[in-house]
Amino acid sequence: MRLLAAVAVLTLAVAPAAPASGAPSLAASGCPLFPADSVWHAPVSGLAVHPRSRAYLTAMGSGAGIHADFGSGTWEGGPIGIPYTVVPPGQPKVPVRFGYAAESDPGPYPIPPDAPVEGGPDAGGDRHVLVVQAGSCRLYELFDAHRDGAGWRAGSGAVFDLRSNRLRPAGWTSADAAGLPVLAGLVRYEEVARGRIDHAIRVTVDRSQAAYLWPARHQAGQAGASLPPMGLRLRLRAGVDVGGFPAQARVILQAMRTYGLVVADNGSSGFIGGVPDERWDNDALHQLGRVTLADFEAVDTAPLRVSPASAAARGARGTGPAGPVGHRWWPGVGRDQPPDDPRRRGHAPRSRSARGPRHRAVRGRPAQ
């Protein structure tokens, strides 16, 4: 990623017109994947190191290697990664029942009966379902999604306006424990093939703090100020040489340096999210493991914040300088019954890879 490169607005295809071997193309629906001034697109290379950076990285397990929790092929019968689908404006809406109804956006949702499920239709794990509707430019996301008669049932659900920086209500979860949109932080083959990722990348940690940082809206952690909070931004250190990595891995690593990682969920430390695609080179992705969490630093994103209720980032196009550090923007489970305490619930993604699982994330509520 080049700081001098224009920041392109991500657009989404009206219909899944991708090659048979690939994921849907993000091309021509006219829907941006959040505004250009969203914090997701805000470079963090000029931000100060967070005063608790060392403690956070130690708590995560600084020796843990970066692991692409996505790839080509299948693992245990399902695609590797978190898939999404694009539906037309007229897609019928169907009812959705939620285990965490108090913190979910009510249905109906325009989710087709054959929408791809993370891990496949018979999978365990988080079972995310992500749907973008062209025309309305709405993103619909489900956690722990299952077919239910003519509709679906899920642990939680969230609806995002892709043209807006509005955040969820404070304290609300989403399909991720941090209350953030999942799709915004996924690595997609299309952007790696063009040689540039222009957004932060979703990452999980095995233990998190009972707190969250903007733009996150929800925590699913435990006591301990040294544990990373949801929403924490990590940046690949400037001195880490990425030149010897395969092309696919190198593009991803450069994005980690420019836009960073966002702690979005509980799971295996250092696992980054992406969309399954048959065009991924699993061997190249596996090389990301040569970089460990010790090669990162937590950064202080407070100077970017314009408003606690908005994902708009100061220093992005039209919002002025990013406070004292300054940075120029170059434009361009509950099923049928809800749990006893939904605000303490965390999601744990399946720790899968094209080369087999490194280890399994532990599901359930965080330790009390």
In degrees and rounded to multiples of 5, residue 78 shows phi and psi of -125, 160
Question: If you average pLDDT over every residue of the chain, what do you get?
Answer: 83
**For the chain, how are helix, strand and coil distributed in percent, rounded to 5?**
15, 20, 65
Beta pairing class for 151-154 and 271-272 = unpaired
For residue 45, which of 284, 322, 293 has the smallest C-alpha distance? 322
Q: Is the pLDDT of residue 138 over 70?
A: yes
Farthest-apart Cα atoms in the chain, separation: 55
User: The tokens of 257 are what?
Assistant: 């340096």
From residue 45, how far is each of 40, 85, 238, 258, 329 by CA, in Å? 13, 32, 8, 5, 11
Q: Are 296 and 63 in contact (CB under 8 A)?
A: no
| Average pLDDT value for residue range 70-94 | 94
Q: Are 249 and 274 in contact (CB under 8 A)?
A: no
The region that residue 320 occupies, defined by phi over 0 for left and psi between -120 and 50 for alpha, beta otherwise, is: left
26 confidence band (pLDDT: 50, 70, 90): low
3-state secondary structure 72-104: CCEECCEECCCCCEEECCCCCCECEEECCHHHC
Q: Is the pLDDT of residue 164 over 80?
A: yes
pLDDT at 16: 36
Beta pairing class for 151-154 and 156-161 = unpaired
| Average pLDDT value for residue range 107-119 | 97
In one-letter notation, the amino acid at residue 360 is: R
- For CA atoms 203, 157, 92, 125, the dihedral sign is positive
For residue 50, which of 213, 241, 286, 281 has the smallest C-alpha distance? 213
pLDDT at 1: 30
In degrees and rounded to multiples of 5, residue 183 shows phi and psi of -60, -35
Sheet arrangement for strand 156-161: 85-87, 129-133, 138-143, 156-161
Measured distance CA(159)–CA(367) in Å, rounded: 29
User: The tokens of 56 are what?
Assistant: 């956070």
Q: Which residue has the tokens 């395969």?
A: 246
From residue 132, how far is each of 24, 30, 86 by CA, in Å? 11, 12, 5
pLDDT at 322: 43
**pLDDT tens-place string over residues 335-367:** 222 233 333 334 443 444 333 333 333 333 232
User: The tokens of 85 are what?
Assistant: 């689908």
3-state class (DSSP) for residue 258: helix
Lowest mean pLDDT among 18-22, 65-69, 84-88, 136-140: 18-22
User: The tokens of 156 are what?
Assistant: 């939680």
